[in-house]
Amino acid sequence: MYPADRMLPEPPPAVVVTTRPLRAGNLTHNWTTAFWLGWMGVAAGFAAIWYSARITGMATWWLGPETAPRLVLVSLLPFVAPLGLTLMALTHRRWLPWFGILGAAITAGVAVADIGGPARYFAIEFALAAGGLLVSLASFAGMLRDAPADDLPG
């Protein structure tokens, strides 16, 4: 059909996508997505509390009253655990469910400090901590484990 001097050009080389191999302790990709979305939801919940406290004029311990607000670093304290866990999930760190349990305990500590406050925001903060804990406990189902010796090739 084509003369030898009219050959079709070579196709471009195939694009090779390399991913980091998963090891024991990593979450599967779908569970990693569920983990970071869950903890991002906890951070969004704290943002909603912040907005609500400023609108209603009833302060949490970490925001302080409008007339004497806390330092920005103190105000951002409740976001450290949720955003840190989100970042850890996005970078595929190992043992995320265990760190998630620790993050839920830190989030519950924020809620404990709000007990007795005028706005009763502690109930919502406890619910956010419980949600983070449930996501972390559920993600144990997606954590990779070592292969048993019987399943190893060779």
Alpha-carbon distance of 14 to 61, in angstroms, equals 57
Reference 89, options 43, 35, 129; nearest CA is 35
Question: pLDDT-derived band of residue 43, with 50, 70 and 90 as boundaries?
Answer: very high
Query: Would you state the pLDDT for residue 69?
Result: 87
Residue 24, pLDDT above cutoff 90? no
Query: Would you state the pLDDT for residue 144?
Result: 87
Burial code (b: 16+ CB inside 10 Å, e: under 16) for 94-104 equals eebbebbeebb
Residue 2, pLDDT above cutoff 60? no
Between 92 and 5, whose confidence is greater?
92
Query: Would you state the pLDDT for residue 147?
Result: 55
Q: Is the pTM of this model over 0.75?
A: yes
User: Which residues are bridge partners to 143 per DSSP?
Assistant: 27
Residue 5, pLDDT above cutoff 90? no
Structure confidence by residue, pLDDT tens digits, 80-114: 999 999 999 999 898 999 999 999 999 999 999 99
Q: What are the residues whose beta carbons fall under 8 Å from the beta carbon of 101, sequence distance 6 or more?
A: 133, 136, 137
CA 29 to chain centre: 13
Work out the end-to-end distance of the chain between its first and last CA atoms, rounded to an integer number of angstroms. 50
Query: Would you state the pLDDT for residue 3?
Result: 61
Query: Would you state the pLDDT for residue 18?
Result: 62
Alpha-carbon distance of 121 to 132, in angstroms, equals 17
Question: pLDDT-derived band of residue 154, with 50, 70 and 90 as boundaries?
Answer: very low
If residue 111 lies in a helix (H) or strand (E), which one and from where to where?
helix 96-113
Residues, the chain: 154
User: Which residues are bridge partners to 27 per DSSP?
Assistant: 143
Cα–Cα–Cα angle for 42, 133, 24, nearest 5°? 110
